[in-house]
Amino acid sequence: MREIAYNKGLGESWYGKLTTDGFPQTVLLELTYRCNLDCRHCYLTKDSREKEIGAADVKNIIRQIADLGCLHLIVTGGEPLMRPDIFEILYYARRAGLTTHLFTNGLLIDSDKVMALKNTGLTSLEVSFYSLDERRYDFLVRRKGAFRKLMNSIELLKKNDMEFVLKALILRTNFDEIADLKKFADGLDAKIRMGIMLAAKKDGSRSNLSLRLTPQETFEAINIIDALYIAEKSETDYTGHRDNTRFLNQAGQGEDKGHRDGYFFPCRAGRNKSLVIDPCGGLSPCLYLASPGISALTAGIKKGWKEIKRYTEALVRPESYKCNDCYLKSFCLSCPVLKQLESGDMSGCLPFYREIAELRKAEFERKNAAGRV
């Protein structure tokens, strides 16, 4: 195993510079599906909150991904701080040479945990943040008093000089708060990452989609966020994510990219891009896809990754794949997995995405005509 001294900027300087023989540079580890909240928009379902693997198996997996050349480990949940062994796992990952990135809802953070997280050598911390309005936040996460707890956690992080990024999913409940959320983050001297795409639940239920922005609101949110961030010249960061929606306002992404590059998944999931490990050790190319039955525990990571690649490479877009000849594909944000989750059909076309694509195309053409693209 490689060992490295703690260095906060390490991931940034490595990202994109090293090749890893086809193994993903970033692995996302869902450590648990348990959660102290019950968010109305959450894509997890009760059924998916099953038994999880213990620290020894998790460390074994981490050692294998580090040996295969992985650079960045994102640890998420559920709520990963529900696991008492989280600190030992994060520390182990750093000692194995990985940068570590923790996604949390923030409510379980207290002074001891801030120190414990610091001591693991954590590279970055992302805290979900949905509203500046107490009632709205508590409604969304279905917990009275949750907002106050979160604000306490944020205060603690600041007091202890612990850097963090706020992560805001823009929904119908906070659509009018985009600029205020950005201002709040600026006031804290923290970055904020905003997302606009809400996937249906992992079991195909659409019950959370009532919170999703309308197509018109999605289009407007893209433009508002884009305008807020143009001034900042957002860059790709060490986790490989781009900040917010800047890329959404360029043509040639989404379905078009998948089509052009000959990939089934536009984001290249299952190629050298991403690997997701669920709480039971199941491997998957995408967060929203249930594991195709490949287990890190029985197959091991090296063999399991090969099987994931074989699985995704075997997926071909059929003749009937609607996006193949669609005039909107350069502007469409859909993807086969989102379509599958929402309608049970990976090949079809959903009016929601079509409408957004129409709006984006019209905007692109308007700007083009004005010489502003």
Which residues contribute to the site for ligand SF4 (CB under 6 A)? 35, 37-39, 42, 44, 77-79, 105, 141, 255, 322-323, 326, 328-329, 332, 334, 349, 353-354, 357
Report in angstroms how near the CB of residue 128 gets to ligand SF4 at its nearest. 6
Nearest to 237 by CA among 6, 7, 26, 2: 26
Report in angstroms how near the CB of residue 140 gets to ligand SF4 at its nearest. 8
Report in angstroms how near the CB of residue 141 gets to ligand SF4 at its nearest. 6
Is the CB of 157 or the CB of 198 nearer to ligand SF4?
198
Is the CB of 71 or the CB of 127 nearer to ligand SF4?
127
Report in angstroms how near the CB of residue 27 gets to ligand SF4 at its nearest. 19
Nearest to 357 by CA among 325, 332, 320: 332
Q: CB neighbours of 268 closer than 8 A, spacing ≥ 6?
A: 261, 274
Is the CB of 141 or the CB of 286 nearer to ligand SF4?
141
Report in angstroms how near the CB of residue 106 gets to ligand SF4 at its nearest. 9
Is the CB of 294 or the CB of 326 nearer to ligand SF4?
326
Is the CB of 42 or the CB of 221 nearer to ligand SF4?
42
The Cα–Cα gap between 133 and 138 comes to 9
